Amino acid sequence: MEKQEQSKKRNGGLVIGIVAGVIILALVGVVIYLLITRNAQPKKEEKRNVVVTKDNAEEVAEQMINQDYIEPGYYSTQMSTTWHFKTGDAVSEDAYVKNDAGNTNDVYFDVFLENDESEAILKSPVIPRGAELDKIALDKPLDAGTYDCVMVYHLIDDQQNSISTLRIAFTIIVEQ
């Protein structure tokens, strides 16, 4: 009887050893697979802006002019960063926002005072790709002064659903 118990213990230990060995081999296999597949995927290089100097200004400008593709979800804009108004309810002669023709989406924007984003002081119409909005008047007149503002661009799909946003700080100056 003692031999049967010792034999059962040995067989049990052998089974446990085999199961542990299979588990360890499986884990090693998974780790090797993950390492191989992670290293096999090409790394996406980060694009960086180029510092413009006297020596490379023409070359950089040529590259920018010839760049006609903007990656989906990215947005390129042209806008004035200081808007002047003679009075709080006047039309600005220098405020403009352009949706570059190379963009992939139409946009609209809302303007907020930097310290209060609960109420927009301007809500733009949709600006199609390649179009420009100028001669801008505020929806909510402001008193004379200088205001730090935030413009929140909404990139929209064909049904005018916002697919991403972009925030840009700029200044509004009301003279009287």
Higher pLDDT residue, 135 or 56?
A: 135
End-to-end Cα distance, the chain: 107
pLDDT digits (tens, 9 = 90+) for 48-69: 656 667 787 777 777 766 655 5
Residue 5 lies in a domain: no
Residue 158, pLDDT > 80, answer: yes
pLDDT for the residue numbered 62: 74
Higher pLDDT residue, 175 or 42?
A: 175
| CA distances, 60 to each of 47, 73, 108 (Å) | 14, 23, 29
Residue 132 lies in a domain: yes
Residue 44, pLDDT > 60, answer: no
pLDDT for the residue numbered 77: 81
Residue 110 lies in a domain: yes
Residue 67 lies in a domain: no
Check: CB of residue 167 under 8 Å from CB of residue 116: no
Residue 24 lies in a domain: no
Residue 17 lies in a domain: no
Residue 26 lies in a domain: no
CATH code where residue 162 lies:
2.60.40.2550
Residue 105 lies in a domain: yes
The model's confidence at residue 148, banded by pLDDT at 50, 70 and 90, is very high
pLDDT for the residue numbered 29: 80
Range of the domain at 118: 75-174
Number of domains comprising the chain: 1
The model's confidence at residue 82, banded by pLDDT at 50, 70 and 90, is very high
| CA distances, 171 to each of 29, 81, 85, 87 (Å) | 59, 6, 11, 15
